[in-house]
Amino acid sequence: RNGRYAPPLFYGKAGEDPEEWIRNFRQYCEASGLDPLADTRTRVRIHGLFKTCLRDDAKD
């Protein structure tokens, strides 16, 4: 957590918009100071966070 709000979760359910979720995830990363252009370590951290945000059908 970045101290402000939790990262967005994506379940892959009908009615969920994956593009909107990606936008929200990017905004979360930006608000958390995670810049994918910074370095490999940060990209790996973002990738790990991305994977933890996928739930249920979206995780499979």
24-57 pLDDT, tens per residue? 999 999 999 999 999 999 999 999 999 999 999 9
Burial (0-12, 13-18, 19+ Cβ within 10 Å), 13: exposed
**9 inside domain:** no
Question: Would you say residue 8 lies in a domain?
Answer: no
Res 9: pLDDT: 98
* Residue 2 belongs to some domain of the structure: no
Number of domains making up the chain: 1
In a domain, 50, yes or no: yes
29 assigned to some structural domain: yes
Give pTM, 2 decimals. Answer: 0.86
Domain that holds residue 36: 18-59
Query: Is residue 6, in this structure, part of any structural domain at all?
Result: no
Q: How confident is residue 4, by pLDDT bands cut at 50, 70 and 90? A: confident
The pLDDT value recorded for residue 7 is 95
Whether 1 shows a pLDDT value over 60: the answer reads no
Dist CA 32 CA 17 (whole Å): 22
| Residue 44 included in any domain | yes
